[in-house]
Amino acid sequence: MKVFIQTFGCQMNVNESLKVAALLKARGFESASTPEEADIVLVNTCSVREKPERKVFSFVGRYKSRGRVIGVMGCVAQQYGEAMLKREKAIDFVIGTQNLHKLPDVLDDVLKSGKRRVETGFVSPEDSLKIFEAPLDAPAVSAYVTIMQGCDRFCSYCIVPFVRGRERSRPSGEILREIGDLASRGIKEVVLLGQNVNRYGLNRENDLTFPRLLRKINKIEGITRIRFVTSHPASLDDETIHLFGELETVCEAIHLPFQSGSDRVLERMGRGYTRAMYLEKIEKLRKAAPEIALSADVMVGFPGETDEDFRDTLDLMETVRFDTLFSFRFTPRPMTRAAELSGQLPEEIKLERLQILQDLQAGITLEKNRAQAGKVKEVLVERPSKRPRGFMMGRTRDNRVVNFEATGDLVGREVKVRILEGYQNSLRGVMEENHVY
Ligand code: SF4
């Protein structure tokens, strides 16, 4: 039988979908490239924001005909459980964030018995991380590796601790084995995933901390690039910051969400740092790696956010000048404290602020990309470009997408590219001769 997996949300979800696909393949299921050709459609969901949550039901609505088996997994599944079966008759099973390792059994059972099922109970930390043991199906150049799950911070707007559970880290031995295996299959780059990677290992006795884990991965033969996401400003320590300048494999790029430039708002968000503390981390990062690319998440329209608070956010953006920024408007999430806070703002104000902020950032990003012209960058080649033909696409160490003219099979190789032009979302360049390695 053929299975199609539709993934909404973050890289963590993308990685989980890959792991689920590997488990199902081992059980004899084939993968379908479209929902139309599938017998079974799985939807991996995200409830961090309201929009992806809404998308789930409209997606299920589209594919419920023709007797397909439909399963929902991930955060929305965890959040609503049984209620999803009641709301949408076409859904055959719901499986939460901690039970994904059981998916092949649940699916077998649904197919044999025809009965609908819900698996959303919280399980032991070890069982909840089992899904990540599934070997990936030969990714090409770069692979996600989940190192931890869940979060203990309980920021006032965030649903993650409720749907992903408390913080738990995978054993370092298992992570290192997985990365060694990926390296032996030609993977050059690993992207370590976790809700707050800087806290990796702190809840495990006698295991590595995050910076020590990075040092070990740095020694794995074949791995030339390490990235990680997400870092938390209150948990990012000096030891990790120094590794940006010290370890050859740690790429000069970090995603460090700041969420607001106003101390008053940061406090109501329960973020655990001030604007000054955030800026101090940025200064240290730039000292350790002067060319480091900075990206972040920011939220506008948090309850009680005044014009002045919003101006503080714009001011922080002007001060730091992020290379890229992911911006969102606040939407109240169930179970969170912020949903109940006074001072909820009208949508028009949120949208207006979001537009102002995005316009500002678009200008900064374009300016920074244009400033790359003339530089020679190391590019890890990922695939042929979609447009234009005859070009390859790769990424610089500071995580910029580069399209460059090339012939021959360079996928998985590192090449030097002279940047000719910078655009809003990418760079264009030309390969320096004799610089393939
Ligand atoms: S650090 Fe805050 S925003 Fe990030 S996952 Fe944890 S609770 Fe959510």
| Domain extents in the chain | 2-123, 126-370, 376-436
Name the closest-CA residue to atom 1, ligand 1: 153
CA of 357 from ligand 1 middle (Å) equals: 22
Percentage, residues of the chain above pLDDT 70: 98
Q: pLDDT band for position 435 (50/70/90)?
A: low
CA of 153 from ligand 1 middle (Å) equals: 6
Residue from 10, 160, 163, 326 to probe ligand 1 pocket by mutation (most atoms less than 8 Å from CB): 160
Q: pLDDT band for position 354 (50/70/90)?
A: very high
Residue from 200, 230, 232, 268 to probe ligand 1 pocket by mutation (most atoms less than 8 Å from CB): 232
Is the model's pLDDT at 394 over the cut of 80?
yes
Residue from 196, 259, 330 to probe ligand 1 pocket by mutation (most atoms less than 8 Å from CB): 196
Look at residue 139 in the predicted model and tell me its pLDDT: 62
Closest ligand 1 atom number to CA of residue 271: 2
Contact between residue 261 and residue 43 where contact means Cβ atoms under 8 Å apart: no
- Bridge partner residues of 328 (DSSP): 299
* Mean pLDDT confidence for 71-87: 90
Name the closest-CA residue to atom 8, ligand 1: 158
Q: Is the CB of 107 under 6 A from ligand 1?
A: no
State both tokens at 368: 């920074």
Percentage, residues of the chain above pLDDT 90: 77
* Mean pLDDT confidence for 168-187: 95
CA of 332 from ligand 1 middle (Å) equals: 15
Look at residue 296 in the predicted model and tell me its pLDDT: 98
Q: Is the CB of 195 under 6 A from ligand 1?
A: yes
DSSP 259: B
Q: Quickly list DSSP for 325-368.
A: EEEEE----TT-GGGG-S-PPPHHHHHHHHHHHHHHHHHHHHHH
Q: Is the CB of 196 under 6 A from ligand 1?
A: yes
Per-chain mean pLDDT for the chain? 93
51 by DSSP, 3-state: which? helix
Q: Is the CB of 160 under 6 A from ligand 1?
A: yes
Per residue in 84-95, pLDDT (tens digit) is: 899 888 899 999
Single pTM value for the model:
0.92
What CATH number does the domain located at 376-436 have? 2.40.50.140
Q: Is the CB of 336 under 6 A from ligand 1?
A: no
Contact between residue 68 and residue 89 where contact means Cβ atoms under 8 Å apart: no
* Mean pLDDT confidence for 205-226: 97
Q: Is the CB of 153 under 6 A from ligand 1?
A: yes
CA of 257 from ligand 1 middle (Å) equals: 10
Q: Is the CB of 213 under 6 A from ligand 1?
A: no
Contact between residue 360 and residue 327 where contact means Cβ atoms under 8 Å apart: no
Q: pLDDT band for position 65 (50/70/90)?
A: low
Per residue in 220-264, pLDDT (tens digit) is: 999 999 999 999 999 999 999 999 999 999 999 999 999 999 999
Q: Is the CB of 69 under 6 A from ligand 1?
A: no
Look at residue 138 in the predicted model and tell me its pLDDT: 60
* Mean pLDDT confidence for 326-349: 96
- HSE-CB of 385 using CA atoms within 13 angstroms: 20
Closest ligand 1 atom number to CA of residue 196: 1
Closest CA relative to residue 75, chosen from 61, 95, 57 = 95
- Amino acid identity, residue 177? R
Look at residue 50 in the predicted model and tell me its pLDDT: 77
CA of 152 from ligand 1 middle (Å) equals: 8
State both tokens at 104: 């092949």
* Mean pLDDT confidence for 280-292: 97
Q: Is the CB of 269 under 6 A from ligand 1?
A: no
* Mean pLDDT confidence for 19-35: 92
Q: Is the CB of 74 under 6 A from ligand 1?
A: no
Q: pLDDT band for position 66 (50/70/90)?
A: low
Look at residue 62 in the predicted model and tell me its pLDDT: 83
402 vs 417: CA distance, rounded Å: 9
Per residue in 134-150, pLDDT (tens digit) is: 777 666 799 999 999 99
Q: Which class would CATH give 126-370?
A: alpha beta
Closest ligand 1 atom number to CA of residue 154: 7
* Mean pLDDT confidence for 405-414: 86
Q: Is the CB of 154 under 6 A from ligand 1?
A: yes
Q: Is the CB of 13 under 6 A from ligand 1?
A: no
Is the model's pLDDT at 30 over the cut of 70?
yes
Q: Per CATH, which fold does 2-123 belong to?
A: Rossmann fold (3.40.50)
Look at residue 342 in the predicted model and tell me its pLDDT: 96
